[in-house]
Chains A and B, each alone.
Chain A
Amino acid sequence: MFIQSAPVGTSLVTGLVLLAGPCSATSDPGQTTHQARTSIIRHAEQSRALFGEKGDLISEIFELAEECSVENWDGYDSAPISAQSFQTACDFIRLLPDGIPLPEISSEPDGSISLDWMPSRYRTFSLSIGTSDQFAYAWVDGSDRGHAVARFDFQTIPERILQGIKLFA
């Protein structure tokens, strides 16, 4: 689908408020935005301090979410990254076992965050994290390819996904 361009003047503010979710209780929009911004920045800083490389990746996801925070952010009618997708992606990354290479990240048109392990041009394992606990994932390894869905319980990485990641790490 081809979509005509639209201005994105409020992307940062809108994104921060969306990402902050229901944590802001004030009715003053300006104060809400300020609190949301403060909350998110604090969150990113804490992540970096506590989780090392994972914290850096979480900061990258934050920047990506900020970049993709409004409808049609790319001119292709893409949805913004939601607060829930952001939070779930952060939870997933924190649970990755030590020694597993961290993924590349990107945003998908439906507002999901894609985690991609791409050790070479013809080897890719890609996982979508959206607003539900069901993750779509797929892989292509030369002539071997496939796709599946796994449920994330927010406590452990689903075993099938972990095995898949290890094959592509």
Chain B
Amino acid sequence: MDMLLSGLPKHVSDEESLARFLNSSALFKKADGQIKPAAFMHRNEETSVFRQDTIGEESLWNIGEEIIPEGRRIHGIALIQAAGVRLAGLDVVAKEPPPKHANIVGWVAGSTTINKARNKELAILLAQGAELKRKP
């Protein structure tokens, strides 16, 4: 099995849990914690996530604090299983560095409005399959 420098296998298995850092409180409903589709939308056909299973909760929050711009904070984490990503017709591929980083890929390419609409549909599916972990 191909291994990465982080020690994780190169292939992201269906059972793995993926963490998407929510850098705005507007990316989830405050009342019931539903994740909004925008949390999974992308700018360059890749949605950045971290492979959560081997990361302790405290370390996970620390990773988030490292990637966020100075002066901002992480408001929550959307957790989704890799199987759920693939069920939506997308895929997850490891992309290191940084360690344990991966991208959700397979989005419809191109910047036309109809392609964006298609990607919104996929983002809704991801959002509906995700669980919110609020900042302690």
Could you say which residues of chain A place their CB within 8 Å of the CB of B125?
140, 145
Q: Which residues of chain B in 78-126 are interfacial with respect to chain A, using CB atoms and an 8 Å cutoff? A: 95, 98, 101, 103, 113-114, 116-118, 120-121, 123-125
Determine whether the beta carbon of B69 is less than 8 Å from that of A77. Answer: no
Query: Any chain A CB within 8 A of the CB of B38?
Result: yes
Q: Which residue of chain A has the shortest Cβ distance to B108 in the bound complex?
A: A147
Interface status of A73 (Cβ within 8 A of chain B): yes
Binds A, one of B2-10, B11-19, B21-29: B21-29
Interface size class of B (residues with CB under 8 A): 35 or more
With the chains together, A107 CA to B36 CA distance in Å? 10
**CB distance A72 to B69 under 8 Å?**
yes
Q: Decide yes or no whether B70 CB sits under 8 A from chain A.
A: yes
A142 to B113, CA, bound (A): 24
Question: Which among B44, B72, B116 is the interface contact of A8 at CB below 8 angstroms?
Answer: B72
CA distance A108 to B26 in the complex (A): 10
Given A67-B24, A110-B43, A140 and B121 contact (CB-CB distance below 8 Å)? yes
In the complex, residue of chain A having the shortest beta-carbon distance to the beta carbon of B96: A2
* Inter-subunit contact A2/B113 (CB<8 Å): no
The 3 A-B residue pairs with the shortest CB-CB distance, nearest first, are: A136-B117, A138-B121, A147-B117
- Using A106-B26, A114-B36 as known contacts, say yes or no to A1 and B46 having CB atoms under 8 A apart: yes
The stretch from A27-35, A37-45, A86-94, A121-129 touching chain B is: A121-129
Are A1 and B42 in contact (CB-based, < 8 A)?
yes
Contact A145 B26 (CB under 8 A): no
CA distance in complex: A99, B68 (Å)? 39
19 additional A-B pairs beyond A77-B44, A106-B24, A126-B36, beta carbons within 8 Å, are A1-B44, A1-B103, A5-B69, A6-B70, A7-B70, A106-B26, A106-B37, A106-B38, A118-B36, A122-B128, A124-B127, A126-B37, A126-B123, A128-B117, A136-B116, A136-B120, A138-B120, A138-B121, A149-B113
List 5 A-B pairs, Cβ < 8 Å.
Answer: A2-B101, A5-B70, A106-B24, A138-B123, A147-B120
